[in-house]
Structure 1
Amino acid sequence: MEKTKKVLIVTYYWPPAGGPGVQRWLKFAKYLPEFGFEPIIYTPDNPSYPLIDETLNQEVPKNLKIVKSNIWEPYQIAEKFSKSNKKFKGGQFDVGKNQSFISKLSIFIRGNFFIPDARKFWIKPSIRFLMQYLVENKIEMIVTTGPPHSLHLIGLGLKKELPHLKWIADFRDPWTEISYYKHLKLTSASDQKHRQLETSVFENADLTLATSYTDAENFRKNGANAFCVTNGFDKSESLRILESESGSKSQTLEFSDSQTLKPKFTLSYVGVLEQLRNPDNLWKSLTELCEKHPDFAKDFELKLVGRVDDKILNDIESSILKNNIRNLGYLAHNDSVDEMENSDLLLITNFPNESSKGIIPGKLFEYLATGKKIISFGPKDADVETILNKTKAGKHFDYSANGEIQDFIYSLYKDWKSGKSIRNSANINEFSRKELTKQLAELLTKLD
């Protein structure tokens, strides 16, 4: 019988943190023991999370070992002076004319004084603590997952002190290639510093993980030993949905050929929506559909679940769509999944520039698991588009589209109105969390 190998996972986001950042390694930690690895979590004891979801504590495996240490973060001070810092901490930006002086100043300070990010003050204390912990507990493999990318510098420091250590750098999002990077108001010296640190991570990590095919390719071009292991959906959650619908257990992800007509044709957005990912042409298309088709205006509902930027919300509420909006705000993860299921069409958005075509939001896979149709916005030839085409789960549009958006939505609406099924029936099991953990375990085994 092979001996179980310990792997230390350094993560900032951990329950009760809400949002998608926590899901990836929470699920890997759940399934890794089935493939011969014992995960140990290292995370801050007093983090400053933008979102809290206490229900996620219930998903932490009971026998999982969790090690914590204190972190100091400047956000705790900055939030006393400006609400924009709360948005910034959650990955949201005011852009263009919407930026106040305080917002511009805070972004400049964040980008140039806190490199790579405001969690940098956890780097040195963590290196000191973990050097002793790794040796005492005979741990020879670590994972750092970012953002925040400062956690990769913990891995870099440990690798330099303990060369035998196998280090996996997991990038849930790119570092310098992320869309908001250009909005950080960096000086040339700061930009160079970011890129130097990123290169050091790529060149020293034994394995670099990306969540998209394009990101993995770009990382390899920049010197990383990179592989793609996407995010996914947890089959147990999907079965919970199916059981609640049918009243009986199902062993495979199969969806009904018929549907019960709901009182509203519902398009839902679940998650954080900031100005940089605002699909203006979708709102215009929906407005025009409501103006041209009174029946659609009567039956349509736009459901918002999560944190939507105030500017976006105000613009929608100032239009004809104000009578169609149901804004539920942030909900616990299980409740969010239920709201996905109680929808007919699910919206996902990405940054519009070409450099973001490799971003695959983790939410996409939860959307896939519901079997509901998906409408996506982002750059042309995006990895999201590849997955939607492969699974036949929906349609992807770039931000210049208009008429075709209306055609797609109205066609689904007519099927809904007539009682036809608009569910997706493609095989999506390759994106289950257990199958993805198997892929991860195979990569980790090859490092031995």
Structure 2
Amino acid sequence: MVKRVLMIAYHFPPYTGGSGIQRTLKFSEYLPQSGWQPIVLTASACAYRRDGAPADAVAAHVTLRRSFALDSARHLALRGRYPALLALPDRWISWWLSAVPAGLALIRRHRPDVIWSSYPIATAHLIGLTLHRLSGLPWIADQRDPMSDDGYPADPRTRRLHRWIEAKILAHSASMVCTTPGAVRAYRARFPLLGQERFSLIENGYDEADFAAAPAAARDGGRFRLLHSGAVYPSERDPSALFAALARLRGEGVLGPDNFQLVLRASGHDAHLRALAGAGGVAELVELAPPLPYRAALAEMQAADGLLLLQAANCNAQIPAKLYEYLRAGRPLLALTDPAGDSAAALRRCGIDTIGKLDSASDIAHALTRFLSLARQGRAPLASAAAVALHSRQARSIELAALLERVGRKEET
């Protein structure tokens, strides 16, 4: 007997602004293989700020409903300003007004067994909570990132509201799903009275079908191209120490424009990074490249001489989604992160030890020199095929299906 899950997610095609859509998109694609039919409730396309790249295709078997939503910063602002209440808990709170009646209509028509909502955006969880309370269906809250932390979100009112939503999740949901072991530990520490079974771990992953459709182009054999694919957040992936290390190695004659190039693809902060590279004297070593369609970005990963991961210590309980795609790309990987964080631990479990500290120019210079030597000799550590396969989107969908079954059985009893 086929069961149904109502999936509430803001990040879904035609949104193309980042890798966040891949989690819900691939769950909706692969869950039917485990006996679960997805019903996706997402925001209307006008809510998205598109980057011009083609949108990912949605599987034909997915029942899809878009409900009206506005972005307060774009649609409700006057001369660039809008009331703060229109951005609590986020700028898409208007989505709640249309999504609740749309969700109730979907529940009446399709009779799902479980509700699933994904953060970010926080409004998705408010929709999930409301539909759970109105319908009585069990609810799973998917936390792709931590919703609150010390000093995060920066605005105190938003932080208080996010903490209220977290408390409601843990009071009413059947399970909170986290994407990293550190996030699970953090939530268990904050809510010690709840049973450990209330928290589940389903990591991010890569999709084999996307890689099969994105064969690597031939490498040019010239300069060593070290690629970072995706956003470079100034507060979480600050490359200042990296640029200082590049300047040091250039001064020592180790690196130059003729033998090395750092490619920052789709950084989202090109102006800031251009100024930073210029001030550091490494502009000739750094290329700021525009976004690519998703599969083209995967092809570029597979063609790079090396792949770069950036993650600051303030994100130790997070793992960038691109890490799993990097592993599948099968290219030498340099991680600049805190050795005590989840990203470093995930790489070490795969046998990858080319790791340096993001906040230390001297440590980066040493790690980068070693990495380049190993990569050029073909001796850089790579994850085994068996280790990589554990992180496929199909494997993650099997994990989610098992959780849906447990939640559904518990509700029946």
**Bigger Cα displacement from structure 2, 315-324 vs 432-441:** 315-324
**Gaps (5+ residues) in structure 2?**
409-413
Q: Which residue of 1 aligns with 2:173?
A: 205
Q: Which residue of 2 aligns with 1:154?
A: 127
User: In structure 2, do the counterparts of structure 1 residues 51 and 363 end up closer, same or farther at CA, with 3 Å as the change threshold?
Assistant: farther
Equivalent positions of 1:395-434 (< 5 A) are: 395-417=354-376, 419-422=377-380, 424-426=382-384, 427-434=387-394
CA positional deviation for 1:282: 1.1
Q: Which amino acid aligns with 1:57?
A: D
TM-score between the two structures when normalised by the length of structure 1: 0.82
Contact 2:7 2:40 in 1 (8 A): yes
CA positional deviation for 1:334: 1.2
CA positional deviation for 1:63: 2.4
**Bigger Cα displacement from structure 2, 397-406 vs 277-286:** 397-406
**Bigger Cα displacement from structure 2, 40-49 vs 381-390:** 40-49
Equivalent positions of 1:134-173 (< 5 A) are: 134-163=107-136, 165-173=137-145
User: What CA deviation, in whole Å up to 9, does each residue of 1:407-443 have, x standing for no partner?
Assistant: 22112323444x4343614231110111111111111
Q: Which residue of 1 aligns with 2:411?
A: none
For the residues of structure 2 that align with 1:63 and 1:218, how far apart are their CA atoms? 37
For the residues of structure 2 that align with 1:423 and 1:172, how far apart are their CA atoms? 28
Residue 296 of structure 2 is aligned to residue 335 of structure 1: yes
Q: Which amino acid aligns with 1:6?
A: R
2:352 is aligned, of 387, 393, 418, to 393
Q: Which residue of 2 aligns with 1:69?
A: 67
Equivalent positions of 1:373-384 (< 5 A) are: 373-384=332-343
**Gaps (5+ residues) in structure 1?**
83-101, 247-259
CA positional deviation for 1:21: 1.1
CA positional deviation for 1:306: 0.2
User: What CA deviation, in whole Å up to 9, does each residue of 1:198-239 have, x standing for no partner?
Assistant: 201122111111111111222234248111100001122334
SS at match of 2:308: strand
Q: Which residue of 2 aligns with 1:344?
A: 305
Q: Which amino acid aligns with 2:360?
A: A
Equivalent positions of 1:106-255 (< 5 A) are: 110=84, 114-163=87-136, 165-177=137-149, 181-184=152-155, 186-187=156-157, 191-221=159-189, 222=191, 223=194, 225-240=198-213
Q: Which residue of 2 aligns with 1:5?
A: 3
For the residues of structure 2 that align with 1:383 and 1:263, how far apart are their CA atoms? 34
Q: Which residue of 2 aligns with 1:435?
A: 395
SS at match of 1:183: coil
SS at match of 1:304: strand
Q: Which amino acid aligns with 1:396?
A: I
CA positional deviation for 1:37: 0.4
For the residues of structure 1 that align with 2:337 and 2:216, how far apart are their CA atoms? 33
SS at match of 2:177: strand
User: In structure 2, do the counterparts of structure 1 residues 79 and 384 end up closer, same or farther at CA, with 3 Å as the change threshold?
Assistant: farther
2:235 is aligned, of 258, 276, 281, to 276
Q: Which residue of 1 aligns with 2:28?
A: 29
Q: Which amino acid aligns with 2:51?
A: I
Contact 1:372 1:393 in 2 (8 A): no
User: What CA deviation, in whole Å up to 9, does each residue of 1:69-126 have, x standing for no partner?
Assistant: 11133122367744xxxxxxxxxxxxxxxxxxx8xxx8xx65x653211111221332
Q: Which amino acid aligns with 1:386?
A: A
Q: Which amino acid aligns with 1:390?
A: R
Contact 1:32 1:39 in 2 (8 A): yes
Percent identity of the aligned residues? 21
User: In structure 2, do the counterparts of structure 1 residues 425 and 364 end up closer, same or farther at CA, with 3 Å as the change threshold?
Assistant: closer
SS at match of 1:320: coil
SS at match of 1:227: strand
Q: Which amino acid aligns with 1:168?
A: I
Contact 1:6 1:139 in 2 (8 A): yes
Contact 2:274 2:283 in 1 (8 A): no
Contact 1:15 1:54 in 2 (8 A): no
Q: Which amino acid aligns with 1:203?
A: A
SS at match of 2:64: strand
For the residues of structure 1 that align with 2:394 and 2:20, how far apart are their CA atoms? 18
For the residues of structure 1 that align with 2:217 and 2:291, how far apart are their CA atoms? 24
User: What CA deviation, in whole Å up to 9, does each residue of 1:137-179 have, x standing for no partner?
Assistant: 212211110111111011111111122x0211111111112x7
TM-score between the two structures when normalised by the length of structure 2: 0.88
For the residues of structure 2 that align with 1:318 and 1:421, how far apart are their CA atoms? 34
CA positional deviation for 1:261: 7.4
User: What CA deviation, in whole Å up to 9, does each residue of 1:33-71 have, x standing for no partner?
Assistant: 10000011111123432443653433x212222111111
User: What CA deviation, in whole Å up to 9, does each residue of 1:326-361 have, x standing for no partner?
Assistant: 2221111111112212222222222432xx211111
Contact 2:213 2:295 in 1 (8 A): no
For the residues of structure 2 that align with 1:390 and 1:76, how far apart are their CA atoms? 43
Q: Which amino acid aligns with 1:149?
A: A
SS at match of 1:32: helix
For the residues of structure 2 that align with 1:135 and 1:31, how far apart are their CA atoms? 24
For the residues of structure 2 that align with 1:194 and 1:416, how far apart are their CA atoms? 44
Q: Which amino acid aligns with 1:67?
A: R
Q: Which residue of 2 aligns with 1:93?
A: none
Contact 1:43 1:68 in 2 (8 A): yes
For the residues of structure 2 that align with 1:47 and 1:219, how far apart are their CA atoms? 34
